Amino acid sequence: MPLFLHLLDPWSISPDEARSGLSRAERAQADRFVFQQDAERWSAFRTLTRRILAGYLPHASEPIEWAQGEHGKPFVRGAALHFNLSHADSLGLLAVSDLGPVGVDLEPSARGLDLIGCEEAFCHPEEIAGAEGLEGARRGNYLMHIWTAKEAALKCLGTGLSHPPQEVRISGHRAFGALEGLAALHIGRPSHERLAGHLSAWAAHRDIREIQWA
């Protein structure tokens, strides 16, 4: 199976429909949001993800229950199916594969300006050197490309940002560092008209050769 990418619209289902697809624990989590719109959006992404995953599993019944790894990455217990979700405002990006772990990150492009001045918190020294001479939007775009690639790679490996991102170096479609598994990853950049105004990245083991929008 190739790596399948899905774009999710949280407002494509009603708040009641979104809530009905949650587990009891997830409903309690949704109730802890301060703002109702944030709770409804989070609930919709969870329910839409669960429905999409059901389509990949034979004889699956909703709701699909998933467990979490040591650092919180969700997985479908007892199934050879890997997925990862990232969402920004009212758009979600979901990756699904049966060939091994995957990771995705989706961010508004404008967020790059917020990263200026924070380079030492997530950039490898060589990446900081590579930003020399870049100012304003160009520097923000450069930093956002690094951020999304690292997020995708670290989510793929299941550590997330619990592993110091400044110890990972991004170069092209590869990630380098001492963390086990980095060398086996390929990092890609999804292309879709609905991603306008966003930057995104996916990471998977290099035996994935085909990407399909579903």
Q: pLDDT tens for residues 75-120? A: 888 788 899 999 998 999 999 998 889 999 999 999 999 999 999 9
The whole-number pLDDT of residue 181 equals 94
Euclidean distance between CA atoms 193 and 3, whole angstroms: 19
List the structure tokens of 42.
Answer: 């989070």
Q: Look up the domain containing 204 and give its range.
A: 3-213
Structural domains in the chain (count): 1
Place of tokens 């060398």: 183
Residue (of 101, 50, 54, 135) closest to 204 by Cα position: 101
Please tell me whether residue 202 adopts helix, strand or coil conformation: strand
Residue (of 118, 115, 174) closest to 141 by Cα position: 115
List the structure tokens of 165.
Answer: 């991102």
Q: Which residue type is seen at 113?
A: L
Place of tokens 């997330």: 160
| pTM attached to this predicted model | 0.94
Q: Write out pLDDT tens, residues 11-54.
A: 999 999 999 999 898 999 999 999 999 999 999 999 999 999 98
Q: Write out pLDDT tens, residues 169-212.
A: 999 999 999 999 999 999 999 999 999 999 999 999 877 778 89
What is the helix, strand, coil percentage profile of the chain, to 5? 40, 25, 35
Beta-carbon contacts of residue 111 (< 8 Å; ≥ 6 apart):
140, 144
Q: Which residue type is seen at 66?
A: W
How many residues does the structure list for the chain?
A: 214
Mean model confidence pLDDT for the chain:
92
Which CATH number is 187's domain given? 3.90.470.20
Euclidean distance between CA atoms 154 and 68, whole angstroms: 15
List the structure tokens of 163.
Answer: 């592993």
Name the E strands within 109-195: 169-171, 174-176, 185-188
188 close to 175: Cβ distance less than 8 angstroms = no
- Look at residue 63 and tell me whether its pLDDT is greater than 90: no
The whole-number pLDDT of residue 61 equals 59
Q: Determine phi and psi for 9, rounding to 5 degrees.
A: -110, 110
| Rounded-to-10 torsion of CA 108, 110, 114, 118 | 70
Sheet containing strand 198-205, edge to edge, reads 102-108, 198-205, 185-188
